[in-house]
Structure formats: structure tokens, C-alpha cells
């Protein structure tokens, strides 16, 4: 994992480039750069794979191409074997070298062979043209902005705001070229709106359970192929629990991390599971009163998020990854993506099958700027690489082939996932009702006190150069009766909350936060001795 930055063109300025790379400092441990006429390229590299030799920017043996790469290619060993048979010679054991060799061998078709979480830029040094690519789900980020005579590329928005120019995002599953005329021409190599389309539906519960278990187990196996300690963000819910169980079996050098109010459901369930699995467990105890405006401001600075609910979740996420960073854990797995794929939200079950599929696909396409952006920024902001096995492309494709009746059955969401892992998870996890992380951790309502300030803080960092803060889409969708077309139109016509809506939300949050104080004031006093 890395933070990458490039300035390309006759007006590339070393001082500007240094500021860009400095903004990405938390994403890595070492700074590595290369400066040429009209090309400034660099990384802040988090050393995970072939830590001593995978130096970036990486150049091809013929010196024709230069690569800046953020992410991991999980099937790099398999690709290395194929490329070796085709005559490629390797200098390292890194996935970085394999990635550039794959591009040399197969050109733009190389992205269709990659299995990983990545964003990268390959520069043709002779022409200054740049090939850009981003993984299918958008787990890893890549942005660009253009000023006269220079194209700037970076892993985060904060590295580009200093140019005061509009910022654009490389969409998930897209690739293409930034030409020397300054135009960036991208096209999809994976279409998230048609994924799984045309493939046979899997409606047999036994077959579906076997396939779900095999796909998820394989996705987790690939993501624990490391000699480093592996962390798991554990809420005590279904997704993070089965992730921990699989990681424990595949990579015994692991540790679980949980956040919450000391007596919250998350902490209680997580403590019990970690003890049952005999896995070291770190609990980040955080009480509502501990969350201050400075914490909210820092979460917005790190996350760059553009929906209110995601910012609230970021405030809860940042302390988790801060603790992991302090522990020196570089690789972490999370359970993100399961709700989107396997029916973890009520809206999927309140509409017909066709509309439900549209909602599934809409959520998946937008994960890159919601949950996945939160995870990437909160983790990389503390030199931690977060991996998301539920969003392996093979798992996504499989989930799209399952009918809604296998995702919700007998009133139980994510039924097929529970069925697939019923023999390895305890009943108290399998039967636990679903609670979003920030609610069950006991911290959500405290953060809502600061919600009216989110947009102003977001603008203060210049992040509106990409996109301003807007209402939570789930709220809009609910008010539109889960009609996706109406919700999209409503969100475009009135993107932000009104003053009245903010006031109503603030009153609700204030009541919740005042309740403990009132209980202490009016409750029975302890007997005097």
C-alpha cells in the first residue's frame, strides 16, 4: 500500500509536488521519488510485500515505463508464474514488479487478469502519456486535477486542493490514458451495473451455501498471504465474526480490535467471541463524552467524505485504526460490503426483485465514495492497509446470482451467509440481530451533536473542489418510498439538509445526550452509610 503522487507536463513544479507528497505522508513509511524533465513521481510506501526491494517509482528493465502503484495484487504469484513462462525475468518477489510486467506483456488487457485492490499510473517516459487504472469496486482511490501545462495525480483529495482547480476521480473499474493534450479518457473494464447479468441464477440453498463459503474463504485466504500479523476489525456481528474465524484458521498470528462504550453490545459480543477463539483482543473503549469537536474535525480531514452518515461512521472508525497503527499492525481485514451484497438493509426487502437488484447495484457502485473511502482513509491515515474480502470481485459476482429469497428468509437478513458458516460460528453470533457499527458501539448519537458543522468543516479543507457534503442517500431513499429514480432526482434538486432538518436532528441528539445526566439527577441516590 502507498500514497502516490505525480506531476506531469512542462509546468511540473518541484515545490508543489513536494507539498502533494507531504499531504500523503501518513499513507506510508518511506518517501521514494523520481524527478525528470516534465515528470515528478513519488510514493509514500507502506512496506508490506518484499519490503526491502519493492522500491517505487518502479521502472521497466528497458527504462521505457515508470509505475506508481497503490494497493495489492493478491494473485501476483500466479501471474508471476505465467509471465515467467512467457519469458519475463524478475528482480524481486514484489507484486509491484509483477504489475508492470503484466502491463508490458498484455497491455491494457492486463487489468482483466488482476485480482486485487489497487490504483496505479504507468507513465510512458518518452511521450509523457499516462495509463490510469482503478480496481473494480474502487477499494483504492485515485484523483486528478489539471492546471495549464501540468496534470496532477494523487491518492487523496487533500494532496490536490492546493491547486484550487476542480478535482476529478478515476471511477471504479475504469482505465485509460491521460494524453499529452491534457485530456483524460477513461472507460470501464468492469461494469458494476451489469455485473452477474446473463449468468445462471443459483437458487438451490445447498449449492448457494457451498459456493458462498468457498468464495469468501478463498477471498480471505488471498488477503492473509503475508508474514505480518493480521488484524481484524471485530464488531461482534456476523460479517466481522466469520472473518475473524477464517483468519484465525488460516493465519494464527492475528489480533482482533473492537471499539465501543464499555457496556455496548459490540464490546460484549466481541469479547466473548475473541475469548472463545483464543485470539488476542484489543478493545478501544470510548465514551460519548470523550468525542469532541476536534475529533470530528480530524475525522473529516482524514476521510474527505461527502455524506453526513459516513462522516459520523468515520469519527468512530478513526480511533480503531489509530490503535492498530500504534500496535504496529499493517494488514487488517474488515467485513465491509456484506450488507450491500447479501441483503443486510431493510430497503432491499421492501421492493420487488427488479427494484431490489437496482438498489443492490446502486449501493455497490457508490461504495467507493462511502464505506470504502471511510475505510481507506481511516486506515491509511495511520499506516494501516485495510483489506475487504467481501468485495472480492468473485464474491460480488456470486452475490448478484443469488435470488433475494436466499438473502432474506424467515425474517433473517443475510440468511445464506449464516447458512454457509453455520458449523463454524457460535449460535450467539448467528442469531445476533443486526446493528450498524456506530449505533451498537454506543457513540453515534454523540457525533450527531456536531452534524450541522460538517459541511463548513468539509469546505474549510477545500474538499468541495471534488464534491460538496450532501444528505445521506439512504435517508432520501427512505423518504421516497425506496424509489431509486425519485431518490436520485430528489438528491440532485436538494442536495443538503435544510436548517429545519438540522435543527430537528440536533434536538434529537441533544435529548439523547442529556438523558444520562437527567437519570443521574433524578435517579435514586445511594444509601448513606
Instruction: Write out the binding residues for ATP.
Output: 259
Three cell numbers at 516? 444520562
Contacts (Cβ under 8 Å, ≥6 apart) of 259: 266, 283, 284, 285, 286, 316, 319, 320, 441, 443
Spatial distance between the Cα atoms of 521 and 201, rounded to a whole number of angstroms = 59
Report the C-alpha dihedral over residues 326, 328, 334, 336, rounded to 10 degrees.
50
Q: Which residues are catalytic?
A: 2
Contacts (Cβ under 8 Å, ≥6 apart) of 377: 156, 302, 303, 304, 305, 314
**C-alpha triplet 264, 269, 273: angle, nearest 5°:** 150
Spatial distance between the Cα atoms of 241 and 156, rounded to a whole number of angstroms = 31
Spatial distance between the Cα atoms of 510 and 40, rounded to a whole number of angstroms = 50
Q: What is the DSSP letter of 307?
A: B
- H-helix or E-strand containing 34? strand 30-36
Three cell numbers at 28? 506510508
Three cell numbers at 49? 510485500
Q: What is the DSSP letter of 166?
A: -
Burial class (CB in 10 A: 0-12, 13-18, 19+), 55: middle
Contacts (Cβ under 8 Å, ≥6 apart) of 103: 65, 67, 110, 122, 131
Residue 197 CA from chain centroid, whole number: 25
Spatial distance between the Cα atoms of 233 and 249, rounded to a whole number of angstroms = 16
Q: What are phi and psi of 496, to 5 degrees?
A: -110, 165
The SS3 of residue 45 is: strand
The answer to whether the bond into 494 is cis (omega within 30° of 0) is no
Spatial distance between the Cα atoms of 439 and 437, rounded to a whole number of angstroms = 6
Spatial distance between the Cα atoms of 239 and 436, rounded to a whole number of angstroms = 12
The SS3 of residue 124 is: strand
Contact (CB, 8 A) for 454 and 148: no
Amino acid at each position: 500500500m502507498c500514497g502516490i503522487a505525480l506531476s506531469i507536463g512542462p509546468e511540473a513544479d518541484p515545490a508543489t509536488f513536494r507539498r502533494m507528497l507531504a499531504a500523503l505522508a501518513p499513507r506510508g513509511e518511506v518517501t521514494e521519488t523520481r524527478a525528470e524533465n516534465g515528470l515528478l513521481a513519488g510514493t509514500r510506501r507502506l512496506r508490506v510485500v518484499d519490503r526491502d526491494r519493492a522500491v517505487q517509482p518502479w521502472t521497466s528493465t528497458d527504462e521505457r515505463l515508470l509505475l506508481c502503484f497503490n494497493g495489492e495484487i493478491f494473485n501476483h504469484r500466479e501471474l508471476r508464474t505465467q509471465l515467467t513462462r512467457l519469458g519475463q525475468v524478475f528482480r524481486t518477489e514484489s507484486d509491484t514488479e509483477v504489475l508492470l510486467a503484466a502491463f508490458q506483456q498484455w497491455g491494457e488487457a492486463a487489468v482483466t487478469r488482476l485480482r486485487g485492490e489497487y490504483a496505479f499510473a504507468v507513465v510512458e517516459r518518452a511521450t509523457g502519456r499516462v495509463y490510469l487504472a482503478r480496481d473494480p469496486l474502487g477499494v483504492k482511490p485515485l484523483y486528478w486535477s489539471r492546471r495549464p501545462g501540468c496534470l496532477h495525480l494523487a491518492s487523496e483529495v487533500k494532496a490536490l486542493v492546493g491547486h484550487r482547480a476542480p478535482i476529478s476521480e478515476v471511477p471504479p473499474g475504469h482505465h485509460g490514458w491521460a494524453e499529452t493534450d491534457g485530456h483524460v479518457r477513461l472507460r470501464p473494464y468492469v461494469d458494476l451495473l451489469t455485473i452477474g447479468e446473463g449468468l445462471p441464477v443459483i437458487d438451490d440453498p445447498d449449492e448457494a451455501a457451498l459456493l458462498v463459503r468457498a468464495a469468501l474463504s478463498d477471498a480471505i485466504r488471498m488477503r492473509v498471504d503475508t508474514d505480518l500479523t493480521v488484524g481484524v476489525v471485530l464488531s461482534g456481528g456476523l460479517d466481522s465474526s466469520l472473518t475473524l474465524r477464517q483468519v484465525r484458521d488460516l493465519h494464527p498470528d492475528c489480533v482482533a480490535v473492537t471499539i465501543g462504550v464499555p457496556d455496548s453490545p459490540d464490546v460484549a459480543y466481541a469479547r466473548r467471541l475473541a475469548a472463545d477463539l483464543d485470539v488476542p483482543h484489543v478493545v478501544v473503549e470510548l465514551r460519548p463524552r470523550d468525542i469532541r469537536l476536534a475529533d470530528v474535525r480530524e475525522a473529516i480531514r482524514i476521510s474527505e467524505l461527502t455524506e453526513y452518515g459516513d462522516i459520523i461512521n468515520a469519527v468512530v472508525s478513526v480511533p480503531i485504526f489509530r490503535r492498530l497503527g500504534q500496535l504496529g499492525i499493517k494488514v487488517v481485514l474488515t467485513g465491509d460490503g456484506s450488507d450491500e451484497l447479501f441483503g443486510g438493509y431493510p430497503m432491499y426487502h421492501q421492493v420487488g426483485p427488479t427494484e431490489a437488484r437496482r438498489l443492490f447495484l446502486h449501493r455497490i457502485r457508490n461504495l467507493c465514495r462511502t464505506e470504502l473511502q471511510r475505510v481507506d482513509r481511516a486506515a491509511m491515515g495511520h499506516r494501516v492497509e485495510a483489506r475487504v474480502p467481501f468485495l472480492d470481485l468473485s464474491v460480488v459476482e456470486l452475490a448478484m446470482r443469488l435470488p433475494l429469497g436466499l438473502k432474506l428468509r424467515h425474517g433473517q437478513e443475510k440468511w445464506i451467509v449464516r447458512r454457509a458458516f453455520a458449523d463454524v460460528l457460535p449460535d450467539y453470533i448467528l442469531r445476533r440481530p443486526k446493528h450498524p457499527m456506530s449505533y451498537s458501539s454506543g457513540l453515534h448519537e454523540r457525533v450527531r451533536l456536531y452534524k450541522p458543522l460538517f459541511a463548513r468543516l468539509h469546505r474549510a479543507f477545500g474538499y468541495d473542489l471534488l464534491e460538496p457534503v450532501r444528505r445521506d442517500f439512504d435517508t432520501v431513499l427512505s423518504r421516497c418510498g425506496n424509489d431509486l429514480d425519485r431518490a436520485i432526482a430528489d438528491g440532485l434538486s436538494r442536495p443538503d439538509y435544510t436548517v429545519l432538518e438540522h435543527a430537528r436532528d440536533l434536538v434529537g441528539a441533544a435529548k439523547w445526550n442529556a438523558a444520562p445526566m437527567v437519570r443521574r439527577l433524578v435517579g435514586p441516590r445511594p444509601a448513606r452509610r
